[in-house]
Amino acid sequence: MVATSQDHKYYPWLPFVTLLRKEILRFWRVSTQTLLTPIVTASLYLFVFGATLGERLNVLEGFSYAQFVIPGLIIMGVINNTFANTSSSLFMSRYLGGIVDLLVTPVSPPQFIMAYTLAAMLRGLAVGTVVWLISTLFAVLPWESPLLAILMAVLASFLFAQFGLIAAIYAHNFDTLSMYSNFLILPLVYLGGVFYPISILPDPWGTLSYLNPLFYLIDGFRHAIIGVGDTSYLLAFGVSSAIAASLFAWAAWLIGKGYRLRA
């Protein structure tokens, strides 16, 4: 039995690739909970708004309600699932102590952030894609600027992966963690124009909605798909990118410092 590491080559990218693989396997192992459940939930929304109620609703001239609401439901799936992935994965490993297994390894802070982020983005975008595929049963979307739509979905998933990391670091227990999704993300998503265009709201609610950061993600994504939006692409992408960059900087600072990770 020989126990020296000198004869073994070090692959600097391997820690990152391994952590990314582990994060993907983690949600794949529990795919009923991480992929199937959100898809079923989204399908119910699609059924309610696409096939039943939707026929009686008309919020935007020239589009069926299903066409209006589907982009919002897709982006909602992306947002909820990226957030859920980074936040629960990192929080669980902090809570159960498994994080020390990672802290003693040469995984660097940038590798740490990127592995958690990319795995979460993959889950969020996978859920979004499946929701879109199911939605084709209810309505055909015009897909005005597919590249912009994809870009916005990627941006949304990146943003919420960072937010999930931040929430997992600050959360003290599972209750605090669920508060982020129930009392912050859920209301902001619902009030951010998933189910109605904010232009139909009377003031001050219409104006106040412009302060909702999620409005820009939802509106920008829908705008790219149906070609009509409450705000310009420039503003939608500008605000979303700025928020994503700020959250990334915050998460990078916390993880670089080892805040609440290393004593």
Partner 1 sequence: MNGLVRLKLWLYIRAMNALVIENLHKSFAGIPAVKGIDFTINQGEIFGLLGPNGAGKSTTINMIAGVVRPGSGRISAFGYDNQRDYRHTRRMLGVVHQEIVIDNFFTVDQALQLHAGYYGVKDDPAWRQLLIERLGLQNHLDKVMLKLSGGLKRRFMIAKALIHRPQLLILDEPTAGVDVELRHGLWEFAREINRQGTTILLTTHYLEEAEEMCDRIAIMNHGELIALEETQKLIRRLSNRRLSLWLEQPLLEVPVGLERFLPRLKEDGSLLQLNLPAGEGAGHILVQLAESGLKIRDIETEQSGLEEVFIHLTGMKGVDGGNQSRP
Residue numbers at the binding site for partner 1 (CB under 8 A): 1-6, 8-15, 17-19, 21-22, 25-26, 29-30, 93, 96-98, 100-108, 258, 262-263
What residues have CB less than 8 Å from 113, skipping those under 6 apart? Answer: 165, 248, 251, 252, 255
Task: Look up residue 176 and give its two tokens.
Answer: 């605090």
Shortest reach from residue 114's CB to partner 1, in Å: 14
Shortest reach from residue 79's CB to partner 1, in Å: 24
Tell me, rounded to whole angstroms, the distance of Cα 161 from its chain centroid. Answer: 6
In this complex, which beta carbon is closest to partner 1, that of residue 164 or of residue 229?
164
Residue 13 belongs to what H/E stretch?
none
Q: How far apart are CA 27 and CA 110, in angstroms?
A: 21
Q: What is the DSSP string of 157-199?
A: HHHHHHHHHHHHHH-SSHHHHHHIIIIIIHHHHHTTTSSS-GG
Shortest reach from residue 253's CB to partner 1, in Å: 15
In this complex, which beta carbon is closest to partner 1, that of residue 27 or of residue 49?
27
In this complex, which beta carbon is closest to partner 1, that of residue 5 or of residue 52?
5
Report the SS3 class of residue 124. Answer: helix
In this complex, which beta carbon is closest to partner 1, that of residue 169 or of residue 217?
169
Shortest reach from residue 95's CB to partner 1, in Å: 10
Shortest reach from residue 12's CB to partner 1, in Å: 6
In this complex, which beta carbon is closest to partner 1, that of residue 13 or of residue 147?
13
